[in-house]
Amino acid sequence: MQVQDYINAGKIAAEVRENARKKYHVGSTLLEICESIEKEIERKGGKCAFPVNASLNEIAAHYTAEPNDSTVIKENDLLKIDLGVQINGYIADTAVTVCYDPNYDYLVQAAEAALREAISIIHVGTKSSDVGKIIENTAKQMGGMPIANLSGHSLEQFTIHAGKSVPNIWSIGSFSFQSTEAYACEPFVTTPDGLGFVREGKTRNIFSLVTRKRAKDDDANKLVDFIWQKFNMLPFALRWLIPEWDEKTARTLLDKLVQNKIVRSYPILVEANNQRVAQAEHTFIPQENGVTVTTI
């Protein structure tokens, strides 16, 4: 594990996240927000580990801007900005929720507090179920409800979800955190009227390569080679394929690759009762006496 690459990626991610937190986004389009953050990551010397997620209101995760996305942020929107930075494939994953509606401040505060309390108990040997328990309890104490079927995750080189889940509720079965791995902790909190689960929506505009096996289509194979060279196995956006391909062609080729199970598509994740969701996230590496949070 290249600890310094994790730390360097985290420094960039933290700076970009805090700039996004401070900025007034009302009146901006989702496309402008995603592209400006992605360009800032590159200006600071990092690479995007995945497309910036700009998920509004009841959409908890996995929405990034479409190529000509004209969705405008309004004053009562709850905007989750989830960004990733990679250096040599080592990833910093972090998120902030921007809210201009006082009625939903408590959701933002609950997600941030749950993350803070979770991080405070982690060290080598801490059980993941204990982290889920403290996230759940903190969210509920602050008037929110944790999303049960979303979780944090272990990280590996060029792999965002590396097999271990960091739960947002108490759960049976767990693992113990190790100093040889990096992890992301990301509480998602919804209102008391929510179901506390997410369902898959119809929109799919984030993709990743599953395998480099060849398709029976030369143009599709050219796209696979392009994806591998540019993004490795990390997620990418449809808009990242333009202007190499026009939008219609890119969509057609991606559809073929998804059908052939060469590329995976990620559906947006929506709160099951269409209630608003807030998110907070840090990346960390456990230590014997505490934790190194790379994204502070």
As beta bridge partners, residue 78 has: 99
Confidence of residue 188 (pLDDT cuts 50, 70, 90): very high
- pLDDT, position 173: 87
- pLDDT, position 119: 98
Secondary structure class of 158 (helix, strand, coil): coil
Residue 243 has pLDDT above 90, yes or no: no
> Is 93 annotated as catalytic?
yes
Longest dimension (CA), the chain: 56
Q: Could you tell me the CATH superfamily of domain 3-199+270-293?
A: Creatinase/methionine aminopeptidase superfamily (3.90.230.10)
> Is 282 annotated as catalytic?
no
Residue 259 has pLDDT above 90, yes or no: yes
The whole-angstrom separation of Cα 183 and Cα 115 is: 13
- pLDDT, position 18: 98
> Is 153 annotated as catalytic?
yes
CA dihedral 177, 179, 180, 182 (to 10 degrees): 70
Residues 6+ apart with CB under 8 A from 205: 63, 64, 65, 66, 237, 238
> Is 186 annotated as catalytic?
yes
> Is 62 annotated as catalytic?
no
Mean pLDDT over 155-182 rounds to 96
The whole-angstrom separation of Cα 92 and Cα 84 is: 5
CATH fold of 203-269 reads Arc Repressor Mutant, subunit A (1.10.10)
Q: Say if pTM beats, i.e. exceeds, 0.75.
A: yes
- pLDDT, position 228: 98
The whole-angstrom separation of Cα 102 and Cα 176 is: 38
Mean pLDDT over 227-232 rounds to 98
Q: Is 220 left (phi over 0), alpha (psi -120 to 50) or beta?
A: alpha
The whole-angstrom separation of Cα 158 and Cα 145 is: 32
* Active-site residue, selected from the candidate residues 69, 153, 271, 282: 153
Residue 74 has pLDDT above 90, yes or no: yes
Q: Do domains 3-199+270-293 and 203-269 have the same CATH topology?
A: no
* Active-site residue, selected from the candidate residues 82, 112, 136, 271: 82
Mean pLDDT over 268-283 rounds to 98
Sign of the CA dihedral 44, 46, 51, 56? negative
* Active-site residue, selected from the candidate residues 5, 58, 69, 93: 93
Give the number of other CB atoms < 10 A from CB of residue 228: 12
- pLDDT, position 185: 98
* Percentage, residues of the chain above pLDDT 70: 100
* Active-site residue, selected from the candidate residues 101, 161, 181, 217: 161
Domain boundaries, the chain: 3-199+270-293, 203-269
> Is 38 annotated as catalytic?
no
